[in-house]
Amino acid sequence: MTGCLRRVGAGRRRQSRYTRLLMPRWVPNLLTILRLLLVPFVIRAILGAHHTRALALFAVAAITDVLDGAAARHFDLRSQTGAYLDPIADKALLSGVFLALAATGSLPWWVVAIIFGRDIYLLAAAAILLWLTPVRNFAPSSWGKTSTFVQIVTAILWMARNVLGTSAIDALSSAMLWPCAAFTIASGLHYTWRGAHLARVD
């Protein structure tokens, strides 16, 4: 039995080395950096009323998000750098898009206030935990991932609204504001509960 487990472990290590030859370790991080570099171009397109270009650039950025996550998981290329860069890129992209949409009068400011309010609150809470406790791991929760997905869908719908201008997309984008706000608040509450639990445990 022990010999079998050793062979399996050796096989997995060989497979891991093989996949790294197929996909260099820096590829997922390069995709994340590309997403970061696209942020000012997406914002500029929205502010300049180049709505089709903004939507296309946002789609490219979203594709890089899917690809870097898939590459990291499938080829076992996870890294500490990627763990820090990926959420920063996501936040920069979404925050920039929501701010730009609100600045042009497309999106209500109360939605931006909820999203930014939650993010600022979480940053402050994380800083307090870092200062007062030994907690150093702030992995995203399922609620946080769902909230990010809903925010992405909301951003796409509102940019598509500027491109298409149909009554159907207008109604759908307006309706999407409520689940976006709800999931944003719910994820903030869940992170609060989890942070309190981690502080008690540690």
- What distance lies between CA 190 and its chain's CA centroid? 17
| Contact indicator for 125, 193 with CB cutoff of 8 Å | no
Confidence (pLDDT) at 145: 86
- Domains of the chain by residue range: 1-86, 107-202
pTM of the entire structure? 0.80
Cβ-based neighbours of 23, under 8 Å, separated by 6 or more: 71, 75, 77
CB atoms within 10 A of CB 147: 25
CB 90 within 8 Å of CB 66: no
**Nearest Cα to Cα of residue 69 among 85, 86, 91:** 86
| Location of structure tokens 């022990």 | 2
Rg of the chain (C-alpha set): 20
Task: For helices 80-103 and 109-132, give the axis angle rounded to 10 degrees.
Answer: 150
Locate 18 and state its tokens. Answer: 């093989």
Residue recorded with tokens 């298409």? 164
Closest to 81 measured CA to CA, from 131, 39, 33 = 33
Give the closest residue to 45 by CA, choosing from 28, 60, 66.
60
CA distances from 78 to 43, 68, 101, 166, 195 (A): 29, 10, 33, 42, 24
Per residue of the chain (202 residues), what is the pLDDT tens digit?
544 445 445 445 554 454 455 556 667 788 889 999 999 999 999 999 999 999 999 999 989 888 876 766 666 666 666 667 788 888 899 999 999 999 999 999 999 999 999 999 988 888 887 787 776 666 777 888 899 999 999 999 999 999 998 999 999 999 999 999 999 999 999 888 887 776 676 5
Q: Compute CA distances 201 → 130, 131, 135, 195, whole Å.
A: 14, 16, 10, 10
| pLDDT given at position 101 | 96
Cα separations in angstroms, 119 against 80, 95, 199 = 21, 10, 20
